Structure 1
Amino acid sequence: MTLQDLLDSHCMPLDASQRLDTAAMTPYLQLLDGWQFEDGSIRKTYAFGNYYQTLAFVNALAWVVHREDHHPDLLVQYNRCSVAFNTHSAGGITRNDFICAAKADAMFAQGAAR
């Protein structure tokens, strides 16, 4: 599994049988910079120069995750946005969460919101 594998993948309907335990999450977390498992979700905070850039990121992310039908919890502040993914239908973390996290990172790296 590579970062490119995640970027090329799309979310699928999943249930509790596809939930990842901590050991199974480790390789995924090692692929993604800055993501951490906390409180039942994988989380990362992105920093921006101003409110406009923050909202542009939120809007771009909304478009990406809507296409994947996998929506995160967001905490939007003036110059940062915290993103938390988990798979509600599975009651935990699944590969879908890492697919969307990788896509969020790629979008941020490309400067889609800056």
Structure 2
Amino acid sequence: MTTEIALKDQSCETIEKGSKAMIIPRIESYLSQMPGWDVPLDYQTLTKTFSFKNYHQTVAFVNAITWVAHKEDHHPEICFGYNECKVILTTHSIKGISQNDFIMAAKIDALLD
């Protein structure tokens, strides 16, 4: 019996320049398991907006993301204001989405579990 490791329990891996981005059907398959995450029509980024009660909670969440990003060496774009935080994931070396982006998305979601 094969047991699949949950994305949040996996680690990001180095992706060499010249590697190909994830294909659309695979992106759609992962996306169906990631509530609230979205992929624009160009299929180059993975995004989600999180809402909080106040600025303190928002900044605490941003700081937690930066810790995970540093640990995984995969750094999202983060835009935030008083009670909202938008996270944008992409794999710059391939100019598209990789499994690392879904791993980071799962780890970010797990911060709120």
TM-score by length of 1: 0.88
Please provide the CA RMSD for this pair: 1.5
Instruction: Specify the alignment match of 1:91 in structure 2.
Output: 95
Give the letter aligned to residue 111 of structure 2.
Answer: M
Specify the structure having the higher radius of gyration (Cα).
Answer: 2
**Within the alignment, does 1:75 sit opposite 2:79 as a pair?**
yes
**Within the alignment, does 1:41 sit opposite 2:42 as a pair?**
no
Give the gaps of 5 or more residues in structure 2: none
Distance in 2 between residues matched to 1:87 and 1:54, nearest whole Å: 24
Distance in 2 between residues matched to 1:95 and 1:21, nearest whole Å: 11
Q: 2:62 aligns with which of 55, 58, 61?
A: 58
Distance apart, 1:106 and its partner CA: 0.7
Distance in 1 between residues matched to 2:77 and 2:53, nearest whole Å: 22
Distance apart, 1:17 and its partner CA: 2.3
Runs of 4+ aligned residues of structure 1 deviating over 3 Å after TM superposition are none
Q: Which structure shows the higher helix fraction?
A: 1
* Matched-pair identity in %: 44
Distance apart, 1:18 and its partner CA: 4.2
Instruction: Specify the alignment match of 1:6 in structure 2.
Output: 7
Distance in 1 between residues matched to 2:90 and 2:84, nearest whole Å: 20
Q: Which structure shows the higher strand fraction?
A: 1
TM-score by length of 2: 0.89
Query: Which whole-Å deviations, capped at 9, do the CAs of 1:10-54 have from their partners, x for residues lacking one?
Result: 001113424102111011101111101025210000000000000
